Structure 1
Amino acid sequence: MNYITTDIAKAIRRKRADLGLTKKQVYTQLNISFKTYKKIETSGSKIKSSVYQKITNWLAKDY
C-alpha cells in the first residue's frame, strides 16, 4: 500500500485543471473507479501499489 501525500494530491488536481479535464475523464484515463479517484484527490489516503503506479505515470506523461 502507498500513501497519497498532499503534494501528489495537489499535482493531480493541478494537472487536471491545466488540461481542462473532468474528474470522470481522469479516472477513466487511469482505469480506476470514482471511489478510488475520490480517495486520491484527498491527501493521506492509502491506495494499492498498482493504482499508485498509474497515477505517477499519468503525472509524468507530457511533462
Structure 2
Amino acid sequence: MNYITTDIAKAIRRKRADLGLTKKQVYTQLNISFKTYKKIETSGYKVKSSVYQKITNWLAKDY
C-alpha cells in the first residue's frame, strides 16, 4: 500500500486543470472509481500499489 502525498495530489489537480479535464474524464482514464479518485485528490489516502502505479504513469505521461 502506498500513500498519496500532498505533492502528488497537487500534481494530479494541476495536470487535470492544465489539460482542461473533468474529474470524470481523469478517473475514467485511470480506470479507478470516483470514490477512490475523490480521496486521492484530497491526499493522505492509502491506495493499492496498482492504483498508485496508474497515477504515477498518468502523471509522467506527456512529460
TM-score range, shorter chain: over 0.9
Give the TM-score taking structure 1 as reference length: 0.98
The gaps in structure 1 that reach 5 residues or longer are none
Which 4+ runs in 1 deviate beyond 2 A?
none
Q: What percent of counterpart residues are identical?
A: 97
Aligned twin of 1:58: 58
Deviation per CA, 1:26-49: give whole Å up to 9, x if none.
000000000010111011110100
Q: Number of matched residues? A: 63
Two-structure CA RMSD over aligned residues (Å): 0.4
Question: What is the TM-score normalised by the length of structure 2?
Answer: 0.98
Return 5+ residue gaps in structure 2 as ranges.
Answer: none
